[in-house]
Structures are given as C-alpha cells and as structure tokens.
Amino acid sequence: DAKTTQPPSMDCAEGRAANLPCNHSTISGNEYVYWYRQIHSQGPQYIIHGLKNNETNEMASLIITEDRKSSTLILPHATLRDTAVYYCIVTEWGANSKLTFGKGITLSVRP
C-alpha cells in the first residue's frame, strides 16, 4: 500500500504557480519524501526530495510541514509541458530503497 495520499487531479493556468499537496501522516523519522512526475508514455522524471527541511532546485520547491505529515510541491511558473502525473513517495534512504508508486495526481496546465 502506498504511504501517501494525493488528490486525483488538479489544474492550473499557464504561468501561475501549481501547488501539489501530499499527505504522509505515517511517515517515520528515517523516511524521505520524493517527488517524481510522468509525462504520458515516458519514464518517470525525478523532481526533488527532502527529509524535513524545505528544498528548492531548478525545477520546483518542496515544502514539508514541521510535523512532516504532509508536504507541498510547488512549480513556480507552470507551463503546458508540466502537464503530467505527479507522484509523491516516501521511502527510506538506502541502496535498495524501493519506490512504491501510488496513483499520483494528474496536473493539467491550461493555456
């Protein structure tokens, strides 16, 4: 069973920020939060991950609540090419850490 809960879908306007929520209320102390996205008929693309601090890279920002029970992925300026299924995954850090993919959230960016 996936350890995360995400809404099935959301949309946003092109150029606006897309805030994708994720609940992971049973996360344990040594588990990280990972975000991947999958554009139709392609392999998943790594976006960002974090443990407890907020993280930012060239693609997105990850905001993790202080109790670590939820997080938000922020795409600051969504484009049409950001339309994809976004997966929030929690997993332990380790050489054989498995990723359990849930259903993800389908983000549709409208012109």
Partner 1 sequence: GAVVSQHPSWVICKSGTSVKIECRSLDFQATTMFWYRQFPKQSLMLMATSNEGSKATYEQGVEKDKFLINHASLTLSTLTVTSAHPEDSSFYICSAIAGELNTDTQYFGPGTRLTVL
Tell me which residues touch partner 1 (CB under 8 A): 34, 36, 38, 41-46, 49, 87, 93-104
Residue closer to partner 1 (CB basis): 14 or 49:
49
The pairs formed by 41-48 with CB atoms below 8 angstroms and a separation of 24 or more are 44/87, 44/101, 47/73, 47/86, 48/73
Residue closer to partner 1 (CB basis): 31 or 82:
31
Q: Whole-number minimum distance, CB 74 to partner 1, in Å?
A: 19
Residue closer to partner 1 (CB basis): 42 or 67:
42
Backbone angles phi, psi at 14, to 5 degrees: -55, 135
Q: Whole-number minimum distance, CB 81 to partner 1, in Å?
A: 16
Distance from C-alpha of 4 to C-alpha of 24, rounded to nearest angstrom: 5
